Structure formats: structure tokens, C-alpha cells
């Protein structure tokens, strides 16, 4: 299957975006995004199409014979997720044979959804329950850099529940904008 690096070029790819943030971003029928998730705790991470059709639905991409699709009964698969999305947006065909769900409007990343390419890691400052804290620099969209502290979760060692807890904390920190509270610039999603 495709790499995160290739998919990050797609504006509607959100990386390890939690379901709670996904639901908050998708509002109208046909709006969609691609993200990465574990189907069940401990499973390998896979790519997911999240789309609104009445409510938010989540479809897992599968790979067979070097092709990817959500439903190999309705199509022979595609070379890439980009090809899948382009084809379904253009044809307005349902994403799988068991539903009438169509994708019409891709939802781009928010300012707080950062890529590893935006971060320069520095020296380790400390460690905690979920990982380590480092000095670093954040390259902002305007080209300037800001000195930051980077809280780095050891996601490969964390359980799905611990990742969820970590992301809940990040969601809360994004809301705080006060001179006496540490500002959160965002989370790395790729």
C-alpha cells in the first residue's frame, strides 16, 4: 500500500487523525477525508476513507494483487488512493456496492495538523508516561521558525487507548489561547 509520505501530498490526507476530530471536520453529505487508523487495538494501521452520508461513515482500504479498493466486488481496484478518489469524484459512483455513499468534496488539513517535515528535533528535555519531550523548531507556513517543546509519543509502544488519551489532551490544549498557558501549535499527523 502507499506510504504516508506520498499521501501527505494529497490535501485531503490527514494522517493519524482520531475519529473524534474526523467527525468534527465532516459536516455535509459527500464531504470526505483520508486518514490512517488501527481497525482494532494491536492491528496494523491502515488507510480509511471517512465520509458523510447522513452520518459519518468509515471505510477501510484493502489491498489485493497490488491494487487498492474499499470494495473489490464493485471494482477491480486502483493503483493508488489518489486514483480511487479521482475516479469516484469524477464518476459520482458509490464508494462500495453495499451503499449509496458518494464522495463530492474533499476536506483539507487544519493549521494544527503538522507534518514531520515542519519540525526540527533538538535535545531531549525529559520523559513521561507516553514518551519524551524535546527542544525543537517549528517551520510555520509563512517561512518563519518558532522555538518549541515537542511532546513526542512513542506511538508504536502505546495502546490504542493511550493514543486516544494523548490525542484528547492535544484536543484540549488546542483550545487554550492565554499568555499563562503553554500554546499548542498542533500535532504531527504523518
Can you say which residues are annotated as belonging to the binding site for ATP?
151
Q: What is the dihedral of CA 40, 44, 49, 52, to 10 degrees?
A: 20
Can you say which residues are annotated as belonging to the binding site?
151
Query: Is residue 150's pLDDT more than 70?
Result: yes
**155 three-class SS:** coil
Residue 174, by phi and psi: left (phi above 0), alpha (psi -120 to 50) or beta? alpha
What CA–CA distances, in Å, run from 45 to 6, 24, 113, 160? 16, 22, 19, 11
> 18, 164 in Cβ contact below 8 A?
yes
Structure confidence at residue 169 as a pLDDT band (50, 70, 90): confident
Residue 186 located in a structural domain: no
Rounded mean pLDDT of 66-87? Answer: 93
Exposed, middle or buried, 188 (CB in 10 Å: 0-12/13-18/19+)? Answer: middle
The reported pTM is 0.84
Rounded mean pLDDT of 56-68? Answer: 95
Same domain, 48 and 120: no
Same domain, 129 and 52: no
Parent domain of 81: 4-106
Q: Which residues pair with 125 in a beta bridge?
A: none
Residue 184 located in a structural domain: no
Which of 106, 129, 152 marks a domain boundary? 106
Query: Is residue 25's pLDDT more than 70?
Result: yes
Domain count, the chain: 2
Same domain, 83 and 32: yes
Same domain, 44 and 126: no
Rounded mean pLDDT of 31-52? Answer: 88
Q: Which residues pair with 126 in a beta bridge?
A: 133
pLDDT digits (tens, 9 = 90+) for 78-123: 999 999 999 999 999 999 988 899 999 999 999 888 888 889 999 9
Say which CATH number the domain at 146 has.
Answer: 3.30.200.20
pLDDT at position 156 is 61
> 51, 59 in Cβ contact below 8 A?
yes
Amino acid at each position: 500500500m502507499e506510504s504516508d509520505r506520498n499521501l501527505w501530498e494529497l490535501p485531503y490526507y490527514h494522517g493519524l487523525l482520531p475519529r473524534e476530530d474526523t467527525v468534527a471536520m465532516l459536516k455535509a453529505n459527500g464531504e470526505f477525508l483520508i486518514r490512517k487508523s488501527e481497525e482494532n487495538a494491536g492491528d496494523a494501521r491502515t488507510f480509511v476513507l471517512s465520509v458523510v452520508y447522513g452520518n459519518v461513515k468509515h471505510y477501510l482500504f484493502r489491498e489485493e494483487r497490488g491494487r487498492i479498493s474499499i470494495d473489490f466486488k464493485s471494482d477491480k481496484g486502483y493503483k493508488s488512493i489518489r486514483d480511487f478518489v479521482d475516479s469516484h469524484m469524477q464518476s459520482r459512483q458509490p464508494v462500495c456496492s453495499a451503499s449509496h455513499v458518494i464522495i463530492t468534496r474533499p476536506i483539507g488539513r487544519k493549521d494544527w495538523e503538522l507534518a514531520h517535515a515542519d519540525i526540527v528535533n533538538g535535545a531531549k528535555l525529559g520523559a513521561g508516561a507516553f514518551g519524551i519531550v524535546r527542544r525543537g523548531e517549528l517551520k510555520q507556513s509563512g517561512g518563519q521558525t518558532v522555538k518549541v517543546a515537542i511532546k513526542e509519543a512513542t506511538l508504536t509502544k502505546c495502546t490504542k487507548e493511550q493514543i486516544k488519551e494523548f490525542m484528547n489532551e492535544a484536543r484540549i490544549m488546542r483550545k487554550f489561547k492565554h499568555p499563562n498557558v503553554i500554546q499548542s501549535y498542533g500535532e504531527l499527523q504523518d
